[in-house]
Amino acid sequence: MSRRPFRLTIVHPCVGRRAGMKRYIRTWQMEPIPAAMVAALAPDDVEKRFYDDRLEPIPFDAPTDLVAISVETYTARRAYQIASEYRRRGVPVVMGGFHATLCPEEVSRYCESIVIGEAERTLPEVIDDYRHGRPRRTYRAEGRPALTVTPDRSIFAGKRYLGIRLVEFARGCRFKCDFCAITAFFGASQSHRPIDRVLEELARVRRRGQMVFFIDDNLVSNLPAAKELMRALIPLKLRWVSQASINVAFDEEALELMRRSGCQGVLVGFESLNPAGLAEMNKRFNLMHGGPVQALANFRRHGIRIYGTFIFGYDADTAQTIDTTIRFAQEEGLYIAAFNHITPFPGTPLEQRLREAGRLRFDTWWLDAGYRYNMVPFHPASMSAEALEAHCVRARRRFYGWPSILRRATHRVNRATPYMLANFMAINAMHQWDIEGRNGLPLGDEGFRGELLEAAS
């Protein structure tokens, strides 16, 4: 008699859901590449099923041998709810991801096994150990793995994601911004996939006219490697976007390669226009060579649109700082922008500093039943937490109001092609709708009625 295959269930948890909520936040519905990586790392003879908690109900009673969940700080509460449902049914759960590495003691309370660090080397071992009935509590990756595995997107079949293809080239970032969980996870290092692997993946997954999003934490952290990638992309005639630090705006060769390789825009973390705020976050380099104003002029000259991100709540920030930032983003014609308060993620210097100063409002904001998305989880220096929260929401409403959208649409770089102008209108409208949809969202499923089930120590 042949043995049945080992059954692995992969679950991507949502950030949160109000009781009775029917429609999830659309801007958050991109393909979850970590889930596809888990599927790719599983041996070929493993039977894989995937459920995306943002898009569909999870059939907890469907038979399976092991459940794998990648946990981020924002999804931790929901991940523990999902794990509890499986574990009540006697199904073991393994957890990994950013939050598992940054908070291993917490995460291990809600699963049978935890993967700390990157999973390329450890996950096949986890599955083999469960197959043979010898699982361990902790699997710890040593060093950085070779990035040679391509995500298994077959698990996405039939699911309705945003029409943008996600591809990874580099992982990690070499900068040391004090608020950044990515730096805490990777230790301010970056690794790269072989370019031929990236090109093979693009040839397999791209569709005519589809935008490609290189999901790298900072595509240009290692600028020579990024330039090598861009040179290889030129013959493909792609349209692509990514995330980049401001330094690339002052390298003329890099800008020219971005244009020639099909770059349509990049997310740039300007974070603050206040030199004192940038000093606090260890990001003084944002003022290099004329700072954001000159950087934006350089990007525009090469037809590159900008998604600018700004964060508020450092000690130097005031209501005037925020108002100045909104006007700047509108006048400079940013394609889209984010206006958020700083968030003390576990493991970051920011979180440690606020904790030591007694300025955290919640011991673990991501688990507190009273916390809601967009709440400020610390005590700012120059205003109340409630005032900072209100300023951030007001900034989004102003920037994504129709007068602002239409004004920014007139900027030459935003209307340079019919394709990008159409995308501009659609993306800005989507962000406008999502302001209220995500504001006040509970973390975890508000309709969850059970207790979180902790693992035996």
Closest CA to 110 of 367, 359, 294, 443: 367
Q: Please give the single-letter amino acid code of residue 156.
A: F
**Cα–chain-centroid distance for residue 263?**
20
Between CA 395 and CA 453 the distance in angstroms is 40
**Residue 116: CB atoms within 10 Å:** 19
The domains located in the chain, with CATH, are 7-146 (3.40.50.280), 163-416 (3.20.20.70)
How many residues in total does the chain contain? 457
pLDDT less than 50: residues of the chain: 1
Q: Is the dihedral of CA 334, 340, 341, 344 positive or negative?
A: negative
Q: Calculate ∠ Cα 385-387-390, nearest 5°.
A: 110
In the prediction, which pLDDT does 457 show?
64
Region for residue 192 given its phi and psi (left: phi exceeds 0; alpha: psi -120 to 50; beta: otherwise): beta
pTM: 0.94
Q: Please give the single-letter amino acid code of residue 29.
A: Q
Between CA 376 and CA 379 the distance in angstroms is 8
In the prediction, which pLDDT does 448 show?
92
3-state SS class at 48: strand
Between CA 416 and CA 435 the distance in angstroms is 27
